[in-house]
Amino acid sequence: MADRTLRVGVGVLVTAVAVVAVVAAYLGGYLDGLLRLFGDPEYIRTLVEPYGTLGVFILLALQLLNIVVAPIPGQGIGVAYGLVYGVFWGTVFGMIGTTVGTVIAVLISKRYGRPAVESIVGEEQFQRYESITESVDVWPYVILIVLPVIPDDAIAYLAGLSTVRTRKLIVWLSAARFPGMLALTWFGDGIATANYLVMGGLVVVITAVSIWVVWKRRWIIDTLSDGDPASE
């Protein structure tokens, strides 16, 4: 009963904050811009570039917000890193934000448990991947995060509910997000340099893998939940 009361309380608080933020943005005429902050790399670039190197802190703030409020799609932020700072520095800055965000997600999960995680990632996402929290090793979470389409941030929160040590989770989950960040910054750099060959190649590969993941998602989750890949 207490667990349910806590879950409901956290859910109401998160929903209330989200509703107030959206209403305030709408009344202030900023809703369109707010939505574009997470999905429009070109729009993000117009906000960041005037600040030069310091603009990276704007991207880091957006990235952390995206990770803490998991339902917000944040691929546009990764692309913006590459668009503004190129592949190398874009990936470096992106990984800094990703690592800090992963630390926050895991610590929230470890500290506040299932009620908080379910409220943050949403009931549907939670139920879809809940079985994976039974894993006693980090590899199932690493594999899920590396795969496209699977929600990275939600997996990071769910991983925190497992018995895997906090430090081990943070190190491996952060490392697992490197391929995705590299792909996004590479794509962003391709936009900046009009390198359509790179952009086209990334789109084809990611689309093909994404289709396979969507098709086999249930099998992937069941397989990772049933066994420990590292011990097979």
pLDDT for 84 beyond 50: yes
Length of the chain equals: 232
Distance CA(209)–CA(215), nearest Å, equals 10
User: pTM of the entire structure?
Assistant: 0.75
Confidence category of residue 47, pLDDT binned at 50, 70, 90: confident
The mean per-residue pLDDT over the stretch 93-113 comes to 91
Quick check: 145 and 37 in contact, CB under 8 A? no
Quick check: 108 and 211 in contact, CB under 8 A? no
Q: What is the pLDDT of residue 125?
A: 84
pLDDT for 5 beyond 80: no
> How many domains does the chain contain in total?
1
Burial-class residue 74 by CB neighbours within 10 Å (0-12, 13-18, 19+). Answer: buried
Between residues 53 and 164, the one the model is more confident about:
164
**Residue 163 in 3-state DSSP?**
coil
Between residues 138 and 64, the one the model is more confident about:
138
Confidence category of residue 71, pLDDT binned at 50, 70, 90: low
Burial-class residue 176 by CB neighbours within 10 Å (0-12, 13-18, 19+). Answer: buried
pLDDT for 25 beyond 50: no
Between residues 96 and 12, the one the model is more confident about:
96
Indicate the range of 39-48, 110-119, 159-168, 170-179 predicted with least confidence. 39-48
Q: What is the pLDDT of residue 195?
A: 85
Distance CA(156)–CA(146), nearest Å, equals 12
Confidence category of residue 72, pLDDT binned at 50, 70, 90: low
Question: What is the span of the domain harbouring residue 38?
Answer: 2-231
Query: Residue 50: CB partners within 8 Å, gap ≥ 6?
Result: none
Between residues 43 and 81, the one the model is more confident about:
81
